């Protein structure tokens, strides 16, 4: 399952922690207590942060991603689970670095 792929990848990133603050079915990955990835077990896909509203709108507009139902902040998108694993890995890494760099300012 794709959730296991995300968990395996995220746990090896420095400073990350897997939490379930909204119940066992909603998984939030944080880097130094700042969220960079979220998914619902059995849900439609993986929510992660992009580098801003314009990037998010472009991804949604081209059909690569959707607006996440619960993360209405600028820059968050939902990639469906049928997205190629390599792209998901790259997107997770980009979200991680973005949040990591924002937290170090």
- The pLDDT tens digits of the residues spanning 5-59 come to 999 999 999 999 999 999 999 999 999 999 999 999 999 999 999 988 889 989 9
Cα 52 to Cα 8: distance, rounded to the nearest angstrom = 26
Burial class of residue 104, CB neighbours in 10 A (0-12, 13-18, 19+):
exposed
Question: With bands split at pLDDT 50, 70 and 90, how would you rate the model's confidence at 77?
Answer: very high
Q: What strand order describes the sheet that includes 34-40?
A: 16-19, 26-31, 34-40, 45-49, 76-80
Least confident stretch, 19-28, 56-65, 69-78? 69-78
HSE-up of 56 (CA within 13 Å, CB side)? 19
> For residue 86, what are its two tokens?
């390599």
- Look at residue 67 in the predicted model and tell me its pLDDT: 87
> For residue 18, what are its two tokens?
């897997």
Contact 98, 36 (CB under 8 A): yes
This model's pTM is above 0.95? no
State the average pLDDT over residues 77-94: 94
> For residue 47, what are its two tokens?
């929510």
Q: Which domains does the chain have, with CATH numbers?
A: 2-103 (3.90.1150.30)
């Amino acid at each position: 399952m794709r959730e296991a792929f995300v968990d395996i990848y995220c746990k090896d990133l420095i400073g990350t922690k897997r939490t379930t603050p909204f119940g066992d079915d909603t998984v939030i990955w944080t880097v130094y207590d700042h969220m960079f990835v979220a998914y619902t077990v059995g849900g439609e896909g993986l929510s992660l942060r992009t580098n801003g509203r314009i990037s998010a709108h472009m991804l949604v507009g081209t059909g690569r991603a959707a607006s996440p139902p619960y993360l209405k902040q600028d820059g968050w998108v939902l990639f469906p689970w049928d997205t190629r694993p390599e792209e998901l890995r790259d997107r997770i890494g980009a979200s991680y670095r973005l949040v990591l760099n924002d937290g170090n300012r």
